[in-house]
Amino acid sequence: RDLRSLRPPERDLRSLRPPERDLRSLRPPERPTEPPQLCRAGGDRHGHAEEGTEEQAGTPAPALSELKAVIGWLQKGLPFILILLAKVCFQHKLGIAVCIGMASTFAYANSTLREQVALKEKRSVLVVFWILAFLTGNTLYLLYTFSSQQLYNSLIFLKPSLDRLDFFDLMWIVGIADFVLKYLTIALKCLIVALPKIILAVKSKGKFYLIIEELSQLFRSLVPIQLWYKYIMGDDPSSSYFLGGILIIMYSLCKSFDICGRVGSVRKALKVLCTPQTYGVRATSQQCSEAGDICAICQAEFREPLILMCQHVFCEECLCLWFDREKTCPLCRSVTVETLRCWKDGTTSAHFQVY
């Protein structure tokens, strides 16, 4: 109480302010009614607001500063991430080396076969059989080396003999199975390339490459299903059946869309196989001589010449091979084929079917 009773002098001090107010009231007569205190408060607020905007302009926007923070974190953590990556790579060095080897074998076989297809009748049967032998040797050596894992089981929808299936095992088995199936696809196409003209005309080989490729892609998308089911459900009893069930349903849904698309492609390829393709009508000898008697594609005399809608003449065989790759006339670029079917040129998709 005594302390409180000491306050009055303060009040007295405050009561000494009036002269200030009087000074302020000397301001321009434009706003004489405005209370001086309010005016000050307003002025202060203004000052703060200005300081605030200045701060915002000086420091970067929130999104940018967050990005900077993330970059800073990455810079600090980069060495550790690299160490972790190096350790994982070292642990799986054998798998990585095998995959690089298989990928380069695939790339070599794929490009060589494509060249041989483009050579038409002049293809070398020797080279084709070399590709066949190379791929067979590679596959057999791989399956023999890892025979303890029974990797070939995954090709016939059985589980390879592994104690447990973790993520890297899954990728390993799926990757090997995918490469072996790609090799098989190339081998089948090699047999088609090697077939003599009497059995299968060069011009209709493109349809067979197409149907082989589409069937192979369908099969390759079916192979990983049982492995993924096993991986999602898990072998150990501690795994939750509820979560596994939900994930399996989601996987099955996504997978069924994928397979439906592939089945549709196979059906289209079968349609192409069954319908005879005609790009033009047979050219008369007069039309051939008008065209100069030389085919612009093979630079030789016409063999079974066809005349296109644009009045350009080519050999039938040259045209069929051309339209396996392109959809326009080689000379005037007018569109002749409505939809270009991929895979008719003998290439095999390099797509890695992970899931």
- Which spans of this chain sit near Zn ion (rule: CB under 5 A)? 295, 297-298, 310, 312, 315, 318, 329, 331-332
In the bound complex, what is the minimum distance in angstroms from residue 122's beta carbon to Zn ion?
12
CA 225/CA 232 separation, integer angstroms: 10
Which residue, 171 or 331, is less far from Zn ion as judged by CB?
331
CA 202/CA 27 separation, integer angstroms: 103
In the bound complex, what is the minimum distance in angstroms from residue 267's beta carbon to Zn ion?
32
* Cα maximum dimension of the chain: 130
Beta bridge partners of 314: 306
Which residue, 87 or 197, is less far from Zn ion as judged by CB?
197
Which residue, 165 or 315, is less far from Zn ion as judged by CB?
315
For 294, list phi and psi in degrees, rounded to 5. -125, 130
CA 189/CA 183 separation, integer angstroms: 10
Which residue, 71 or 332, is less far from Zn ion as judged by CB?
332
Q: And the tokens for 184?
A: 């098989």
Nearest to 176 by CA among 229, 102, 239: 102
In the bound complex, what is the minimum distance in angstroms from residue 293's beta carbon to Zn ion?
11
Count of CB atoms within 10 A of residue 338's CB? Answer: 6
CA 159/CA 231 separation, integer angstroms: 11
Which residue, 247 or 296, is less far from Zn ion as judged by CB?
296
In the bound complex, what is the minimum distance in angstroms from residue 315's beta carbon to Zn ion?
3
CA 277/CA 291 separation, integer angstroms: 23
Which residue, 209 or 279, is less far from Zn ion as judged by CB?
279
In the bound complex, what is the minimum distance in angstroms from residue 334's beta carbon to Zn ion?
5
Q: And the tokens for 63?
A: 């999104």
In the bound complex, what is the minimum distance in angstroms from residue 300's beta carbon to Zn ion?
6
